[in-house]
């Protein structure tokens, strides 16, 4: 696929609702934003794929958080890929873009040729929502299961929120007109509207190790609506999610024209980091003068690197740490 210029729907999340079936959703495109995230690092291919999938999930889920809130997704494992962390910063004001960032920590000597998800082992998938200063962040956790991070996210919503949820994702590098490669990613999310769940706790689900799956939570007309809409989602072509020829609005009409789709204002998304010298100083404020001395380089500086954007900080050791804070 050759793409010569930025598309109007690049780096956007389009929310929609299917009025006939009482299901809501989002269509996301992460192109320049994902390229910005991955260009900061030289990840092995399996790590790139997992970070891309995680970033796309973060954009799809994060669009619902309120102004000035922060949504984070995390994966922690004992496998070759030890951690993936993503943040979605909601706009400060209406009309402004949201910001997204991500990074991964891994053991390069243990990365194999196995499938990307197989690089994860014995860990968990977590979603955290930070509502701002003075509040306690919400956190929900689910085991790593189902063969993909998208399946983990579906299990999280089934277990923690009792909301049937489905993701369809695609991502990869596209060849530009000048011969260089850039990341393109697109995804679709559907979710039943919040209501009382008919599921009786304690019965166990049909997923791996008894985890709840979306279909465990629907009965009657809701089950019929969910199955019908999922049938349409199954027909989506991967190129339709990332290609240059089908705007998200046209994709929704193609998939769900019988479901009475209704779209809302799209949210633009940008790669962005919140690191700063002040934040670095704050993070070092827990250390004593003795600890800071151990961190000081031969050049007489305390250095720090942002894992998300790669920015390098050099600080005077006299100005950081617990003693400097007094």
CATH of the domain at 317: 3.90.1280
Number of domains within the chain: 2
Selection from 195, 193, 188 nearest residue 256 by Cα: 188
Ranges of beta strands (E only) in the chain are 2-3, 12-18, 23-30, 70-76, 81-89, 98-106, 124-130, 138-143, 165-176, 181-192, 261-263, 267-271, 302-305, 312-315
Q: What is the number of other CB atoms lying within 10 angstroms of the CB of residue 239?
A: 13
Distances (CA, A) of 228 to 232, 233, 301, 318: 7, 9, 62, 64
Q: Both 189 and 145 in a single domain? A: yes
Q: Both 320 and 172 in a single domain? A: no
Helical residues (DSSP H) of the chain, grouped into ranges: 32-38, 45-62, 149-156, 220-233, 238-242, 248-256, 277-284, 289-295, 322-325
Residues of the chain below pLDDT 50: 1-4, 200-201
Q: Both 224 and 265 in a single domain? A: yes
Query: Has this prediction a pTM greater than 0.85?
Result: yes
- DSSP conformation class of 160: I
At 81-96, the pLDDT tens digits run: 999 999 999 999 998 9
Query: What CATH number is given to the structural domain containing 225?
Result: 3.55.30.10
Q: Both 100 and 223 in a single domain? A: yes
Beta bridge partners of 72: 87, 128
Q: What is the number of other CB atoms lying within 10 angstroms of the CB of residue 255?
A: 23
Q: Both 300 and 172 in a single domain? A: no
Which residue segment(s) compose the domain that 318 sits in?
Answer: 277-325
Answer yes or no: are the C-beta atoms of 119 and 111 closer than 8 Å: yes
Q: What is the number of other CB atoms lying within 10 angstroms of the CB of residue 42?
A: 8
How far does CA 246 lie from the centroid of its chain?
Answer: 23
């Amino acid at each position: 696929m050759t793409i010569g210029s930025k598309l109007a729907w690049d780096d956007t999340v389009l929310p929609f609702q299917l009025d006939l079936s009482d299901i809501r959703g989002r269509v996301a495109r992460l192109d320049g934003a994902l390229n910005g995230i991955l260009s900061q690092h030289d990840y092995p291919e399996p790590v790139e794929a997992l970070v891309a999938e995680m970033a796309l999930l973060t954009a799809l889920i994060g669009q619902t958080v309120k102004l000035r809130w922060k949504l984070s997704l995390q994966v922690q494992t004992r496998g070759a890929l030890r951690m993936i962390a993503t943040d979605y910063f909601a706009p400060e004001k209406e009309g402004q873009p949201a910001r997204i960032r991500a990074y991964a920590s891994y053991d390069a000597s243990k990365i194999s040729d196995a499938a990307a998800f197989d690089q994860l082992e014995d860990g968990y998938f977590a979603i955290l929502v930070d509502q701002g200063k003075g509040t306690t962040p919400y956190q929900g956790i689910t085991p790593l299961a189902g063969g993909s991070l998208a399946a983990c996210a579906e299990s999280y919503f089934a277990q923690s929120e009792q909301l049937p949820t489905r993701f369809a994702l695609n991502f990869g590098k596209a060849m530009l007109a000048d011969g260089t490669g850039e990341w393109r990613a697109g995804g679709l999310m559907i979710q039943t509207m919040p209501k009382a769940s008919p599921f009786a706790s304690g019965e166990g689900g049909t997923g791996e190790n008894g985890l709840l799956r979306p279909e465990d939570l629907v009965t009657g007309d809701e089950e019929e609506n969910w199955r019908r809409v999922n049938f349409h989602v199954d027909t989506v072509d991967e190129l339709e999610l990332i290609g240059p020829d089908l705007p998200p609005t046209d994709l929704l009409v193609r998939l769900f024209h019988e479901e009475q789709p209704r779209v809302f204002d799209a949210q633009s998304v940008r790669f962005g980091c919140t690191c700063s010298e002040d934040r670095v100083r704050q993070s070092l404020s827990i250390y004593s003068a003795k600890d800071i001395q151990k961190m000081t380089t031969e050049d007489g500086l305390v250095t720090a690197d942002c894992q998300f954007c790669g920015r390098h900080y050099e600080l005077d050791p006299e100005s950081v740490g617990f003693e400097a804070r007094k």
